[in-house]
Chain A
């Protein structure tokens, strides 16, 4: 497992890309994350994470259409690569396995 390669923010960004695919780009990802976490997320932070993820090979991108509200500028659309998908499912299964091993009484004491 290459856990150290994936930061927490990167992980949610990667997940958001997967969720919003095939129309995922920084603005909608930021808004999605804001909605999910209830915190302000800047496109800058998202964009930086997207760049890192792309460098690591978890994402691929291409330039999409221009819209008027972007001042005629194109957007960069992201898609999860096979490697990215595997990392995501790895992370997912690690978490699942751990969740399953939590003794029910422990969960009870939290709630």
Chain B
């Protein structure tokens, strides 16, 4: 050997590695040998630098198919499709051989996946709101942030003057549409009368919001003030099978409007709900104060505005300009206190609550909450799979040992077990699809939606496939890695202690599972309790048998006669009128002055105009002072207790206040009544008396009549005094109950999902317990022979699980407490999270665990020791 050679630097090893990888195995030795030999020879002959340069060239010459192409191996490579078939066959045999385990796994997974799918579909539906409108990104509703003593209140009502200001002074605004508050009006064709919700809306509306038209052109249908656009189903109700185009509809028994367009019925995922559209120009032409509002003041905030920004313009670009538009327009105090903001259409549905003038959330919070629940439930089901598979690993150990001994690679085993979990997940998915299909009608009934499984969309299948993959990997990878790690020598010699190593992670997983379930149950209980708490809250008035009917001009003319006859015939106990129904306040205003007012202080307060007998009719009581003496007692005012407190009035009765320039004397103080949200404090409210007809007729059915009987008789009476309109009414108790709709729904869903979560967890426990019992058959046999009682054995097997659930409880409690007390902060009127909820949940969880486990442990305890020990 040449001693110099050891000194010459070797060719860079990196390239050797590269070539080793590149060049076919059967050529590697000679090729690398050639390269090195040549290199050293050249170093000696041509010098290091040149040799290195030429080495590069040499190397490049090997990048050709002759060296890269692998030689067919003399050993047959495994045929992958055959192996796949084998894996599937083994998986299928395992599934059918151990029916109990398979059932638990599949049942758990399919219930979990069904829950997740339902939640997924629901969330997708909620996110799809209004997105069917072309160009929805540029559409906004105008909102107004009103500053009331440092509190910012956000309103959807704006002034009509703002419409023109936006239209003519902001060049980035493409179109503006005015709208009324979208209430019900009477439509009449021949003797067909209906009373349904619709809107009086600016002429550009249908060009901005491109709801599909069946007949008519969006740019023209609302041009003539005396026109009306009907939705398909409204047209059908009014005109039957006739073609309604060009026909006449009597509107509010006041004007004849010509049908100029037919809209397709609005889909359920539309935020705006209307059955017909009437031009805003009609509203302006026929209602005097609307006409005045156009030229009047910025403080007449009774309208809604919709805005479309020019393509490419984002709200952020114009926000500053729009915010101060009222300030620049007029220096009124109202204008100075309000800032105009726009809410994008795509946020209407999910972000409904405003705090300090900013979107804070709304429905989106529940969406987020339920996404978490969906993921948790699937996770719980996955944990079952992991636990049961690793627990059963003794049974699979021999298979793994033999497979490895005959030459399986670990990777192959991993893929085999993953394929098994895919198969299982897929079967579970089929069941879950069936479950969802069966449950959807009930779910739709509960959530008041019309969700269907979108079988035809590829997006759905992609999402399903993605979720399947993730679930199968989640459930399958841990068992796959664990099972494939067995040492064949140990397994086949029988010296391996399976289960010991896996039992700790299994315990952790059981604890995790039960922590989730217990937290969910705690949440369900607290949500339920909060709803009950609000429902049981004294309302301050009586909603039972109280009805409201919206007034119209004709009814206004005959209202006295109607009142008399309602009382005289004994149908109604009391009758009165007011400017808003008992369960709502439609008008908010500001007081000009009151005793003790600080300079510059403003207060939003509810204003309710009432007729005689209002308090008697609604069932409100007065804390002090007197009721209005008669319908003409227009100089008196009655405050509620909240208002007295808000205005810091001492001895309020008899004090003078000023409202809209009118001096009024406080005649009495009404006890607080929950006219708006049952979850907040009563709003400061002021009641004023007026003899003119008001918006709403209030009447209470006499107790001796059944509702049905009374309704039949009232229909007759109303038809007599109000022939142009269909008789319509709302029950106050129903309107009040509707305020709990969202919370009730959340409560129900949380309860259902929590129940399912605990059910799936118990399935897992059941499987684990049966496994434990099976594994310890011999031990139990010995114990029994030595004199252990059935109770002893039962305790022995159950103890461990109770212990685990106990730990889970300790983990879940503080987390749930923290989250729930945060949630409750939203509500001013809230229930407290008392200790008994935790005690109840803890005991319940332990009881359920014992029940689940006992079946197996008692079975094991009853086993005849002779039989279990004989095999030895």
Interface assignment of B34: CB less than 8 Å from any CB of chain A? yes
B61–A70 touching, CB < 8 Å: no
Contacts of B66 in A (CB 8 A): 47-48, 51-52
Closest residue of A by beta carbon distance from B10? A71
User: At the interface, yes or no: B29 with Cβ under 8 Å from chain A?
Assistant: yes
Which chain A residue has the least Cβ–Cβ distance from B34? A43
The answer to whether A75 and B61 touch across the interface, beta carbons within 8 angstroms, is no
Q: Which of B746-793 contact A (CB under 8 A)?
A: none
A42 to chain B: closest CB distance in Å? 4
User: Could you say which residues of chain A place their CB within 8 Å of the CB of B61?
Assistant: 42-45
Query: Which residues of A44-85 have CB atoms within 8 Å of chain B's CB atoms?
Result: 44-45, 47-48, 51-52, 63, 66-71, 73-76
Assess whether A27 is interfacial by the CB under 8 Å rule.
Answer: yes
Residue B620 CB within 8 A of the other chain: no
A19 to chain B, nearest CB (A): 19
Residues B422-471 near A (CB distance < 8 A): none
Q: Is A26 an interface residue (CB 8 A)?
A: yes
Smallest CB–CB gap between B169 and chain A, Å? 78
Chain B residues whose C-beta falls within 8 Å of the C-beta of A25 in the assembled complex: 34
Nearest B-chain residue to A73, judged by Cβ: B33
User: Of B2, B36, B41, B67, which one neighbours A44 at CB under 8 angstroms?
Assistant: B67
Q: Interface size on B (CB < 8 Å)?
A: 25
Asked if A109 is at the interface of the complex by the 8 Å CB criterion, the answer is no
Residue B820 is within 8 A (CB to CB) of chain A in the complex: no
Q: Are A27 and B41 in contact (CB under 8 A)?
A: yes
Q: B residues within 8 A CB of A27?
A: 34, 37-38, 41
The minimal Cβ–Cβ distance linking B277 to chain A, given in whole angstroms, is 81
Docked CA distance A51–B68 (Å): 13
B30 contacts A42, C-beta separation under 8 Å: no
Chain B residues, Cβ within 8 Å of A31: 41
Q: Which residues of A contact B2 (CB under 8 A)?
A: 69
Determine whether the beta carbon of B67 is less than 8 Å from that of A48: yes
Compute how far the CA of A27 lies from the CA of B45 in the bound complex, rounded to whole angstroms: 14
> In the assembly, what is the distance between CA of A76 and CA of B36, in Å?
14
Query: Number of A interface residues, CB 8 Å?
Result: 25
B870 at the interface (CB under 8 A from A): no
CB contact between B34 and one of A66, A68, A75 (< 8 Å): that residue: A75
Known: A40-B57, A44-B58, A44-B61. A26 touches B34 (CB 8 A): yes
Chain A residue with Cβ nearest B65: A48
Asked if B302 CB lies within 8 Å of chain A CBs, one says no
Which residues of B in the span 52-88 have a Cβ within 8 Å of any Cβ on A?
54, 57-62, 64, 66-67
Known: A42-B61, A44-B67, A68-B5. A75 touches B37 (CB 8 A): yes
Q: Which one of B30, B40, B62, B64 lies within 8 Å of A69 (CB-CB)? A: B40
Inter-subunit contact B5/A75 (CB<8 Å): no
B781 vs chain A, min Cβ distance (A): 64
Complex interface: chain A residues within 8 A of B35 (CB): 43
Q: With an 8 A cutoff between CB atoms, is B31 at the interface?
A: yes
| B75 → A minimal CB distance (Å) | 21
- Contact partner of A74 (CB less than 8 A), chosen from B33, B38, B40, is B33
Residues of B within 8 A of A45 (CB): 61
**Which of these, A67, A68, A71, contacts B32 with CB under 8 Å?**
A71
Which of B32, B34, B62, B66 counts the most A-chain CB atoms under 10 A from its CB? B34
What's the nearest-Cβ distance from chain A to residue B359, in Å?
68
**A108: min CB distance to chain B, Å:** 40
B62, A71: Cβ atoms closer than 8 Å:
no
Encode B500-528 as 1/0 by CB contact (under 8 A) with A.
Answer: 00000000000000000000000000000
Contact A42–B57 (Cβ < 8 Å): yes
Residue among A25, A27, A44, A74 having the largest count of chain B Cβ atoms under 10 Å: A44
Contact of A70 among B33, B58, B62, B64 (CB under 8 A): B33
Which residues from chain A contact B33 at a C-beta distance below 8 Å? 66, 70-71, 73-75
Which residues does chain B contribute within 8 Å of A76, judged by CB atoms? 30
How far apart are A55's CB and chain B's nearest CB, in angstroms?
Answer: 10
Collect the chain B residues with CB atoms within 8 Å of residue A42's CB: 57-58, 61
Question: Is A30 an interface residue when CB atoms closer than 8 A count as contact?
Answer: yes
Q: Which residues of A contact B34 (CB under 8 A)?
A: 25-27, 43, 47, 70, 75
A73 touching B57, Cβ below 8 Å = no
Complex Cα distance A89/B32, Å?
A: 33
Q: How far is the CB of A67 from chain B (nearest CB, A)?
A: 7
- A43–B32 CA distance with the chains assembled, in angstroms: 11
Quick one: closest B residue to A69, CB to CB?
Answer: B40
Give B31's nearest chain A residue, CB to CB: A47
Q: How far is the CA of A68 from the CA of B5 in the complex (A)?
A: 9
Asked whether B29 lies within 8 Å of A74 as measured between CB atoms, the reply is yes
Alpha-carbon distance between A69 and B38 when the two chains are bound, in angstroms: 9
Specify the chain A residue showing the minimal Cβ separation from B42: A31
What's the least CB distance linking B41 to chain A, in Å? 7
Q: Please, which residue of chain B has its CB at the minimum distance from the CB of A31?
A: B41
In the complex formed, the residue of A with least CB distance to B11 is: A71
Q: How far is the CA of A67 from the CA of B1 in the complex (A)?
A: 9
- 17 further contact pairs, Cβ within 8 A, besides A26-B34, A47-B66, A76-B30: A27-B38, A27-B41, A40-B57, A43-B34, A43-B35, A44-B60, A44-B64, A47-B34, A48-B67, A69-B40, A73-B29, A73-B30, A73-B32, A73-B33, A75-B30, A75-B33, A75-B34
Question: What are 12 A-B contacts with C-beta separation under 8 Å?
Answer: A25-B34, A42-B57, A47-B30, A47-B62, A48-B66, A63-B30, A69-B5, A71-B36, A73-B29, A73-B30, A75-B34, A76-B30
